[in-house]
Amino acid sequence: MQNYVSEARIVLDELLKALAEGLSLEKHCFVENFDPILSEINVRVNYYPPCPGPDRALGLTPHSDASSLTLLMEFGVTAGLQVLKSQEWVTIPRPKDSLIVVVGDLLEIMSNGRVKSPWHRAVAQSDGDRFSVALFYNPSPQTQIKPIENAPNKSNGYRKMIVGEYLQHYYRNAPQNEKRAILYAKD
């Protein structure tokens, strides 16, 4: 697991740089918040057994990830992850042997809303079991993240935020029925 996490950190840093460039921002504007020693990768392992009544069960309640980026590897049934789009739950297709990257709340704050953390859930399946390993990538809890300046709508932007303070707020208020924790970081 240590080797996987070490290699994943390299991939996650490159993704942060690519996202910045894709938004026409300075390449290091996101990754500069991640100290190579103090930034954190938290690991969560989930197992969802086959469910005889998947319409009456939920695998993981709806939520957004508090992290900056989440790297998700899934094994088994491939139809368990859903995202809320236009008020409907849509199953995320996953090609075999691929990783899923999920934007988290901290990156939404850093990007000043230019990228959004999706409201998503895991649903039970009857046709097989599902196993997943999620890596949640965060700056050090003591890091103050600062939203980028050139947001499309500054009046609805985010404020500077200490990572640990945001995470405490997020977990103190979880679970919720809608994406509300991030309002704590709004200007």
Q: pTM for the complete prediction?
A: 0.91
Which pLDDT belongs to residue 172?
92
* 74 half-sphere exposure, CB direction, 13 A CA radius: 21
Structure tokens at 73: 């590897």
Which pLDDT belongs to residue 156?
67
Q: Give start and end residues of each alpha helix (H) in 2-63.
A: 2-22
Which pLDDT belongs to residue 174?
83
Low-confidence stretches of the chain (pLDDT < 70) are: 77-78, 150-156
Which pLDDT belongs to residue 155?
57
Spatial distance between the Cα atoms of 186 and 22, rounded to a whole number of angstroms: 24
Spatial distance between the Cα atoms of 40 and 141, rounded to a whole number of angstroms: 8
Which pLDDT belongs to residue 151?
55
* Structure-token match 């991640």, residue found: 34
Query: Do the beta carbons of residue 85 and residue 139 sit within 8 Å?
Result: no
Q: Detail the DSSP E strand segments found in 38-153.
A: 40-48, 60-63, 69-76, 81-85, 88-91, 99-103, 120-122, 130-138, 144-145
Structure tokens at 71: 């790297």
The answer to whether the peptide bond before residue 93 is cis (omega within 30 degrees of 0) is no
Which pLDDT belongs to residue 39?
96
Write the single-letter amino acid at 151.
A
Which pLDDT belongs to residue 78?
66
How confident is the prediction for the chain on average, in pLDDT? 90
